[in-house]
């Protein structure tokens, strides 16, 4: 595995316009200073080049983050291959990635699976929901990131 792959974290959802861009932005903010993690996001069914959803941009701005520059990316074999870890929002995402890229099965994790409290369910898709639904999704992702960061610090330094 290359040095770049050793430090690459890929966050995946369906369209790469809501959950995974919010997770990418929040993880960048939560990453310890001085780490060389490469954090990216993609979508299983994403259309390349779309902006983050309006509500995702709005709820992230409440955290002082700017999602306006984000452009969606479709998940590719190259992205999966380069990643040290692929973190998905739902069990269905995990199964789709493992089905498409069986060699990556040991590095695909559900976002909530890092929480030792055992709450390893899916992060529901807020697309088409109200601003409050987006806030709930953002906060759910945010809560799930602390155990992921601990895992990454232990395994990536």
Which of 13, 18, 25, 138 is labelled catalytic? Answer: 13
Catalytic residue selected from 18, 19, 25, 138: 19
- Rounded CA-CA distance 12/114 in Å is 16
* 125 carries an active-site annotation: yes
Q: What are phi and psi of 85, to 5 degrees?
A: -145, 140
C-alpha distances in angstroms, 2 versus 5, 7, 79, 81, 149? Answer: 5, 9, 13, 10, 21
State how far the Cα of 6 lies from the Cα of 13, in Å rounded to an integer.
22
Q: Is 143 a catalytic residue?
A: no
Which residue, among 41, 140, 138, has the nearest Cα to 85 in the 3D structure? Answer: 41
Rounded to the nearest angstrom, the gap between the alpha carbon of residue 125 and the centroid of all alpha carbons in its chain is 13
**13 is an active site residue:** yes
Which of 115, 125, 139, 142 is catalytic? The answer is 125
Query: Which of the residues are catalytic?
Result: 13, 19, 125
């Amino acid at each position: 595995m290359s040095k770049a792959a050793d430090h690459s974290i890929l966050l995946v959802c369906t369209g790469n316009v809501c959950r995974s861009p919010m997770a990418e932005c929040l993880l960048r903010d939560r990453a310890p200073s001085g780490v060389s993690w490469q954090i990216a996001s993609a979508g299983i069914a994403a259309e390349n080049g779309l902006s983050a959803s309006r509500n995702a941009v709005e709820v992230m701005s409440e955290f002082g983050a700017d999602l306006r520059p984000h452009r969606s990316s479709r998940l590719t074999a190259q992205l999966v291959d380069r990643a040290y870890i692929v973190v998905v929002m739902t069990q269905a995402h995990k199964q789709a990635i493992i089905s498409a890229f069986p060699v990556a099965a040991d590095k695909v994790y559900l976002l909530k699976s890092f929480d030792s409290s055992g709450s390893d369910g899916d992060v529901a898709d807020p697309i088409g929901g109200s601003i409050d639904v987006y806030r709930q999704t953002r906060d759910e992702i945010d809560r799930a990131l602390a155990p992921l960061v601990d895992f990454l610090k232990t395994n990536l330094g």
